[in-house]
Amino acid sequence: MNRYIYFDHAATTPVKPEVLEEMMPYLKGKYGNASSIYALGRESKKAIENARDRVALALGAKAEEIFFTGSGTEADNWAIKGVAYANRKKGKHIITSKIEHHAVLNACKFLEKEGFEVTYLPVDNDGLLDAEKVREAIRPDTILVSIMYANNEIETIQPIAEIGKIAKEKGILFHTDAVQAVGNIKIDVNNINVDLLSLSAHKFYGPKGVGAIYIRRGTKIASFIHGGAQERGRRASTENVAGIVGVGKAIEIATLNMDSYNKKLLELRERTINEVLSKIPHVRLNGHREKRLPGNANFSFEFIEGESLLLLLDMKGIAASSGSACTSGSLDPSHVLMAIGLPHEIAHGSLRLTFGEDNTHEDIDYLMEVLPGIVERLREMSPLYESTLSEYNSECVKINLK
Ligand SMILES: *Cc1c(COP(=O)(O)O)cnc(C)c1O
């Protein structure tokens, strides 16, 4: 194997050299605790506030509306549990969707055990949520709507501005898990009427283990981590200064490069989708054809088991994923693919390719050199393949497989 190609940027991205360079001093000489009053501490404090300004600027928010967290998962948990606990006297009903990341779904499941009620809205076959469904689900005791900006498996982009408008009209707080979207598409919190938004640095070439949450001024939310007075008393614990500096630098670069980055990803994506659909039979593109993040292609191959596909690709030096990184290792098909109506056996044969900065057209050439052969080989090993093909008219047609 003389090459290694990474097609899994939705799982995580490498830290950019410029980002690492800005972080390094805070891991070395500038190690002061940001709460200390001497110069070394003040330097850390200054670096954190500079990062906060950069995140705020990228989102159209005010600096005091940005709070740093330990991850995207933490930001989601804070948004959902924090709003639930602070508003429980007003009501106990939360609206979300069936295709949220587990950070949102499992936070909601936890709250159900605490006596909250959660409505999990369905999506259509493209993974798109109808904003009117949110309106219909609203009850007098609804306190929060939480809908992801873009899905992390099929990468369909939701009508967030429309949902935000409805939530605002009804006076209900609106959170969006934008972890997959920030750094990939332009987001201005003022155009989409969100009250809370989660992001995570490692999805846009920043470090792992650090994220942020936008909390609109005046939003009623409980603190999540109790302790010292960091983050204005709302998220205690000594700050991860280097990590926070990394978020600031990474989001700044992402914002500056957004147009050219998008253009590049879109080209790689369109080429891949067109070639896979035309060169491999019995394959389906998952997610909306246009309303999807620029760098994502998600396919289901009939008569194939996704894990085997990933292993064979790995042997050829290609890193990809089936479903999301968090669910691989479990035998259940992805909850997202089930929610868009795929039968079990087709959901199992899925492949997610997510492109990034380091990918080139040569990478796609190589993918198209090896993928059709691998798919063919696996199908030859499948007992279903031969027998089904003869009377072929099945599920594929119904769910509009090519
Ligand atoms: C990656 C991801 C998360 C979790 O973020 P971490 O920083 O890895 O905890 C949450 N939601 C979505 C949509 C994601 O893609």
**Which structure tokens are listed for 288?**
């909306």
User: Which helix (H) or strand (E) is 236 found in, with range?
Assistant: none
Residue type, 376: E
- State how beta strands 196-200 and 211-215 pair: antiparallel
Strand partners, 97: 121
Cβ of 184 closer than 6 Å to ligand 1, yes or no, is: no
What pLDDT, on a 0 to 100 scale, did the predictor assign at position 353?
97
The rounded Å distance from CA 72 to ligand 1 centre is 5
Pocket test for ligand 1, best of 8, 98, 200 (most atoms within 8 A of CB): 200
Cβ of 71 closer than 6 Å to ligand 1, yes or no, is: yes
The rounded Å distance from CA 181 to ligand 1 centre is 10
Task: Measure the CA–CA gap between 193 and 198, rounded to whole angstroms.
Answer: 14
What 3-state DSSP class applies to 374? helix
What pLDDT tens digit does each residue of the chain (402 aa) get? 456 899 999 999 999 999 999 999 999 999 999 999 999 999 999 999 999 999 999 999 999 999 999 999 999 999 999 999 999 999 999 999 999 999 999 999 999 999 999 999 999 999 999 999 999 999 999 999 999 999 999 999 999 999 999 999 999 999 999 999 999 999 999 999 999 999 999 999 999 999 999 999 999 999 999 999 999 999 999 999 999 999 999 999 999 999 999 999 999 999 999 999 999 999 999 999 999 999 999 999 999 988 999 999 999 999 999 865 444 555 678 999 999 999 988 888 999 999 999 999 999 999 999 999 999 999 998 877 766 665 554 444 445 454
What pLDDT, on a 0 to 100 scale, did the predictor assign at position 179?
98
Cβ of 11 closer than 6 Å to ligand 1, yes or no, is: no
Under 8 Å between Cβ of 69 and 78: yes
The rounded Å distance from CA 11 to ligand 1 centre is 8
Residue identifier of the C-alpha nearest atom 8 of ligand 1:
72
Q: Which residues are catalytic?
A: 326
What pLDDT, on a 0 to 100 scale, did the predictor assign at position 36?
95
The rounded Å distance from CA 272 to ligand 1 centre is 25
Task: Measure the CA–CA gap between 59 and 318, rounded to whole angstroms.
Answer: 34
Cβ of 16 closer than 6 Å to ligand 1, yes or no, is: no
The rounded Å distance from CA 304 to ligand 1 centre is 28
Taking the CB of residue 361, how many other CB atoms lie within 10 A of it?
11
From the CA of 151, give the closest atom in ligand 1: 13
From the CA of 211, give the closest atom in ligand 1: 7
Cβ of 327 closer than 6 Å to ligand 1, yes or no, is: no
Q: Residue 199 — φ and ψ, nearest 5°?
A: -145, 165
What pLDDT, on a 0 to 100 scale, did the predictor assign at position 383?
75
